[in-house]
Structure 1
Amino acid sequence: MSLRTRLILLSSLWILLIVVVFNVSLYFYISASTTLNETKLLWKKAQIILRNPEIHDSSNWTKPELLEDFKEPDMMVRIIAPNRDVVAGISTHVQLSGYPVVFRSNYYTDMVNDFGFRMLFLQVPIYDDDRQIGQLELGKALNVVSEWMKQLGTGLVIATGGVLAFALISGLVYTQIIIRPIRELLESMKAVRRNRTFVTLSPKITSQKDELGKLGQTFNEMIEALREHDEKQKQFVADASHELRTPLTVIESYTSLLRRWGANDPALREEALQAIQAETSRLKGLIQALLRLAELERMEAEISFQPVEAVALMRETAGRLSVAFERDLVVDAADERIVCWGEPEPLKQLFVIVLDNAVKYSRRPVRIRLSRERSEAVIVVKDEGIGIPEADIPHLFERFYRVDKMRHRSSGGTGLGLSIAKQIVERHNGSIRIRSRETRGTEVEIRLPLAEESS
């Protein structure tokens, strides 16, 4: 069963239930109200009869004219003796006279509904001084009320049927309005799956100020994110293919050269081997960087943060790089107890990337400053190297972007380091910013959230 059919049936049944409950309540309310009014009229009639002194003397009950003054159409009046004999009575309706004779010692009312024909009965005790000597019973055939209630019932049934028909028709229209954006959303999803294209919903749907409009906006935002991600993936594959192709082409060329001429030329053979080794190392570094990117993306759903001593981790990383590059890396911490909230290994990788870049492009000592500002740890890595052109700074975090392709090639760079660094920082809900001037050096500022114990 489709969603539209279910909505129509559920809404129609709900409306039908409301109408039926309302109509039944209205019917019984009107029935009870009319019965109560008729009961009050009978009670007043009984009071008028009981005001006659002859009624309270049983010797007068045999007089034929005793109740003649109270004769009315569709009315019955009778006096019942304690032995259940009807000792006096008048009736203008046969069915009223057929009502069973019962002697009661108290007040009593009864409504008889015989296949839609209503009869109302009232009994009132007759006293002689303080002794009950009989029971006055009045009966009234509610012909007008019965007919009116039949018409009311018929009208309510017709109204219920009309409401149900209206509910079905309006349900078709209403659900068409509701289902239209959902159907368009479904068709868009099918188009994305079938044609591998990113189709967005029309502004007619997304501009609505309701849940369906918000659903459409969210869908369009998701499609835009997928489109952007797809474009980045395509660009990444193209860039990675280009980067991998270059060293492989160099290796292939030198291998071919060795096969043809290397056996008889030691200098050429040495040059070829050095080139192959350099390109192999560069290829290895590129593959490792790609694997790190893939690992970071895979671990997005496996974040397990913990308190990390930023100063200790930075001193350890700087110490190892200082030995490896035989360079001075000066760590200056305003507070030794700066504790970040993150993962030790990715943060260590972040520090390595930033320090490695600073060491490669500067011959002077690199200075690292750690401090805290409010709820953030601030890490600043400053070098006095060759700097970066201002036009290149906005593109530094793009994958495979190189400020100077020849410089990066000679230093073994892949163009992925800062992209990985930014991904790590964003994963830790932090920020990274680079300030640089040519020939004046570069400053990298990293901000990471502090752990609660140190904030």
Structure 2
Amino acid sequence: MGLAGRLTVSLIAALLVVFGLLGGSLVLNLSHHLVMQAQEEAQTVARQSAQLASNGGVKGQHLSLNDPGMIAAAEGRSTLYLQVSQGNNIVQRSSDLGRAILPIQPLSPRLLYWAHIPLWGSSAPLMTLPRGRVVLAWAPIWQQGHKIGEIEAAVSLRGTLNAIQTVGQGLLVVGITALVLASLVSALLVYRSYSRVRWLKNAVAQIRSGNDLAQRLNIEGPRDEVYDLAQAFNHMVNQLDESFQRQRLVVAHASHQLRTPIATAIGYANMLRNWGQSEPDLVAEGLEVIHEQLERLHRTIEAILKLAETDEAKDLKTEAIVLKSYLATWVLSQTIPVELDGQPNVTVRFHPDMFAELLNIFGENARRYGGGRPQLRIHWVLDDTTSRVILTLTDNGPGFPADLLPHLFHPFVKHTESPGSGLGLALARTIVERHGGRIFAANSPQGGAQITIVLPQLAS
């Protein structure tokens, strides 16, 4: 059963429970009211009949125990039975009782049953006569301060049970009708609500069947849970698409970057194997080229591995880093002059080793492209309006080629004459973004390449 079917069944089950509780409560309250009404009627008739034989009687009337007037009220009423007793002897009783005898001693209250169903709350003195169940009442007869007899009254519950049956049948018919209508309405509402889920499922299935991560869900309709789910799905597909695109780009460029030094090294190795013994001058040249290509291959592999490790890192163990003191320590490990300029006590949260790796990338670029006197200037400031730290690194080289600026942070993007692998800035971007920051590249107005990093300020 699908989600729509389960929702519909759940709604119908809930309606059944609610209707059962309401219907059962109504039947129980009705039975209690009718039984208490019948018991009150029996008690009233018993008291009035007892007064007829008691001192004073009723309105001056005074009857003996065997006088037919004692049970005259019950004659001709199919719902009322009277009996006059004296001690353990029955003096007279209603003709409708036939051979039945009403109990002389009061009975304990019992529950009334309807179709073998106990009607809770209908507890009263009950007994069963040939004509059906009755509720009982007793009243003593007093003369000159002595009890001379007793009146036993019984009121038939046939009308009560018929009324309960009629109400039960009516509730059943109304309940079935209401349940059918409610089920249809519920099914319609669930179907209309579930239509958006079906739309989402079909749209996802189309993307999956086509293996096209460039497709996105066209989000329409109210801003409900399905809308949020579709947005989350689009965001997930965006991240997957970007990740796959980066992987394809890395693999495509890596294959070229790795193939070139390997092919060059193999070519010179073959040359040394064929002519190295006869031409000793080729040995030094060949070994130098092979060593150079292997170094290039080593740098490329190390950069690719670092890029992959940084991109796949899940839990970064970051620490609070005070920029001024950290950078002052880092400068001591550099071989080129580094000028520091920034506010004191500015703190960011960063992985210490990754922060060092990030700075080393820009330090190496400044050393490599800074000409005869390479140097690096690092400036930082806390933007009070955004509570973010702006870190600017500027070298004194020729700057970035204008045509490469939009693509600098992509893997293997570099100048044709650059000896590097083209992975340094891509690795820098990955490190910065993994720490919640952003990175930008530009050429400084005073000359040289300029990198701007925006990082969250550590909350104090």
CA contact (8 A) 2:221 2:227 kept: yes
CA contact (8 A) 1:106 1:124 kept: no
Q: What's the C-alpha RMSD, in Å, of the aligned pairs?
A: 4.0
Is 1:353 paired with 2:337?
A: no
The aligned residue for residue 384 of structure 1 is 396
**Cα 1:194/1:115, change in 2 over 3 Å:** farther
Is 1:237 paired with 2:251?
A: yes
Identity %: 23
Per-residue deviation, residues 68-114 of structure 1 (Å, max 9, x unmatched): 255342144535445133324334x337x725322359999634478
Instruction: Give the one of 438, 444, 447 matched to 1:440.
Output: 447
| 3-state secondary structure, aligned to 1:321 | coil
**Cα 1:348/1:229, change in 2 over 3 Å:** same
| 3-state secondary structure, aligned to 1:301 | coil
**Cα 1:187/1:135, change in 2 over 3 Å:** same
**Cα 1:400/1:112, change in 2 over 3 Å:** farther
Per-residue deviation, residues 344-394 of structure 1 (Å, max 9, x unmatched): 111110110122222322244322234544555543322232122455333
Is 1:94 paired with 2:97?
A: yes
CA contact (8 A) 1:76 1:89 kept: no
| 3-state secondary structure, aligned to 1:386 | coil
More helix per residue: 1
- CA drift of 1:25 comes to 1.5
Instruction: Give the one of 131, 136, 139 matched to 1:121.
Output: 136
- CA drift of 1:266 comes to 5.9
Give the alignment's TM-score, normalised by structure 2. Answer: 0.78
Is 1:144 paired with 2:144?
A: no
Q: Which runs of 5+ in 2 are unaligned?
A: 110-122
**Cα 1:203/1:45, change in 2 over 3 Å:** farther
| 3-state secondary structure, aligned to 1:405 | coil
The aligned residue for residue 34 of structure 2 is 34
Within 1, Cα distance between the matches of 2:238 and 2:107?
A: 88
**Cα 1:440/1:126, change in 2 over 3 Å:** same
Within 2, Cα distance between the matches of 1:286 and 1:114?
A: 105
The aligned residue for residue 302 of structure 2 is 288
The aligned residue for residue 112 of structure 2 is none
Which amino acid letter does the alignment assign opposite residue 316 of structure 1? T
- CA drift of 1:185 comes to 6.3
CA contact (8 A) 1:388 1:438 kept: no
The aligned residue for residue 410 of structure 2 is 398
**Cα 1:441/1:115, change in 2 over 3 Å:** farther
Is 1:343 paired with 2:354?
A: no
**Cα 1:113/1:359, change in 2 over 3 Å:** farther
Is 1:328 paired with 2:337?
A: yes
CA contact (8 A) 2:382 2:389 kept: yes
CA contact (8 A) 2:339 2:376 kept: yes
Within 2, Cα distance between the matches of 1:330 and 1:199?
A: 45
What pairs up with 1:6-155 in 2 under 5 angstroms? 7=7, 10-46=10-46, 48-49=48-49, 52=52, 60-68=64-72, 71-81=75-85, 83-91=87-95, 93-94=96-97, 98=100, 100-104=102-106, 110-112=125-127, 117-128=132-143, 130-155=145-170
Count of residue pairs brought into register by the alignment: 439
- CA drift of 1:413 comes to 1.4
What pairs up with 1:148-297 in 2 under 5 angstroms? 148-159=163-174, 196-198=211-213, 203=218, 207-258=221-272, 270-297=284-311
- CA drift of 1:427 comes to 2.0
- CA drift of 1:247 comes to 2.3
- CA drift of 1:288 comes to 0.6
Q: Which runs of 5+ in 1 are unaligned?
A: none
| 3-state secondary structure, aligned to 1:302 | coil
The aligned residue for residue 434 of structure 2 is 427
**Cα 1:226/1:80, change in 2 over 3 Å:** same
**Cα 1:143/1:391, change in 2 over 3 Å:** same
CA contact (8 A) 1:380 1:445 kept: yes
Within 2, Cα distance between the matches of 1:113 and 1:217?
A: 71
The aligned residue for residue 418 of structure 1 is 425
**Cα 1:99/1:423, change in 2 over 3 Å:** farther
Within 2, Cα distance between the matches of 1:116 and 1:358?
A: 113
Per-residue deviation, residues 302-353 of structure 1 (Å, max 9, x unmatched): 321223343343233322222xxxx322234542x54432221111101101
Give the alignment's TM-score, normalised by structure 1. Answer: 0.79
The aligned residue for residue 303 of structure 1 is 316
Within 2, Cα distance between the matches of 1:10 and 1:220?
A: 31
**Cα 1:439/1:310, change in 2 over 3 Å:** closer
- CA drift of 1:165 comes to 6.2
**Cα 1:82/1:416, change in 2 over 3 Å:** farther
